[in-house]
Amino acid sequence: MRRKLSLFFLVTFAVLETAGIAAAENGGFTPEFPHSPNAERINTAYYLILGFTGAIFVLVETALVVFIWKYRSRGRPRTTEGAQVHGNTRLELIWTVIPVVILAAIGIFVFYELPGISDVPKASASDRVNITVEGHQFYWQFDYPNGARSIADLHAPVDKVVYLTIVSPDVNHSWWVPQLGGKTDAIPGRTNHTWFKADRAGTYIGQCAEFCGTFHEAMRARVVVTSAAEFESYVSSQATKELGRSEFQGVCATCHGMQGQGAYGPNLSTNPLLIQASGLTSIVRNGFGTMPPVGEGWSDAQIKALVQYAKSKIYKGAAASGG
Ligand code: CUA
């Protein structure tokens, strides 16, 4: 009776525990809902494999439980040997052939899906946008065809093929926005490519997927998908002020907080370095102590935008903190 009761509680607990995870709003056990053809194909492959492995799990576990029950000792002494069975050619052939067929089916299906995942769909020049993605410790930087640059937020038009060139000037990172496709590594000295074609406007969340240092976890990305017209107006009107804001929020705030109030890194809002163009330039370009050289390779205009933003929006003076 006691054994039955504890088994009952164990099963109930396992059901409740897994139901919560399965129903979680981010997709739970399953991948996020795809919004690009390549992400869709990755999901299809996932569900095919899940189907096979799920069926195998149920089959094996059922057989296990049935056999434990059917061949239990029934109180016979421990020293008594059970019936000795050996060799069943037909059975052994079946359990060799079935796994081979399953693996072959999965293999064939994956190779069938692969071109649709990795090959960039053909598109006319007007239906395709090329964007360079640069991984940095610890932020993402995006360069658009007309020379515009943004940080942390990648802007892209809906229903167009967005072809990404992925590079890194420092260490290995990995570009990953699950709803828009698989991971693509950003490796120093190497150029990788991936693409997406978002099927609706909206914001998609990504995360650097390769451990790249202390603040790897803070290296998030957002893909902001809008209509083609909104995208054009964003890249053509990206003002210096906007660039300064995105640099501060995408790069500095990762460690120093949104208002520069200090988080992992020291408080900036009371640091007079923020209003000294030369000092700020040097520390941003070269790094200092544990701070990485986040602005290595930035243009003068980019540095200027950051100095302007920091001066007007972040620096509160030493008096404000009373110190
Ligand atoms: Cu960049 Cu992890």
Q: What is the pLDDT of residues 209-241, one digit of tens each?
A: 999 988 898 899 999 999 999 999 888 876 555
Instruction: Please give the C-alpha separations between residue 289 and each of 48, 284, 297, in angstroms, as whole numbers.
Output: 50, 12, 19
Residue 95 corresponds to which tokens in the numbers above?
């359990």
* pLDDT value for 239: 58
> How far, in Å, from the CA of 258 to the mean position of ligand 1?
20
Residue bearing the CA closest to ligand 1, atom 1: 173
Higher pLDDT among residues 209 and 323, named by residue: 209
Q: What is the pLDDT of residues 80-133, one digit of tens each?
A: 887 788 888 999 999 999 999 999 999 999 999 999 898 888 888 888 999 999
Beta bridge partners of 185: 174
Index of the ligand 1 atom closest to the CA of residue 209? 2
Index of the ligand 1 atom closest to the CA of residue 212? 2
Q: What is residue 194's DSSP assignment?
A: E
Sequence-ordered alpha helix ranges (H) in the chain: 2-22, 37-70, 89-118, 228-236, 240-247, 253-256, 277-286, 300-309
Higher pLDDT among residues 36 and 313, named by residue: 36
> How far, in Å, from the CA of 308 to the mean position of ligand 1?
28
Q: What is the pLDDT of residues 254-297, one digit of tens each?
A: 888 877 787 778 888 888 777 788 888 888 888 888 888 888 88
> How far, in Å, from the CA of 174 to the mean position of ligand 1?
6
Q: Measure the CA dihedral 252/257/263/266, to 10°.
A: 50
| Residue-by-residue DSSP string for 98-164 | HHHHHHHHHHHHHHHHHHHHHSPPP--GGGEEEEEEEEETTEEEEE-TTS-EEESEEEEETTSEEEE
Pocket of ligand 1 (CB under 6 A): 135, 138, 173, 208, 210-212, 216, 219
Q: Is the pTM of this model over 0.75?
A: no
Q: Is 255 exposed, middle or buried (0-12, 13-18, 19+ CB in 10 A)?
A: buried
User: How are beta strands 220-226 and 202-207 bridged, if at all?
Assistant: antiparallel
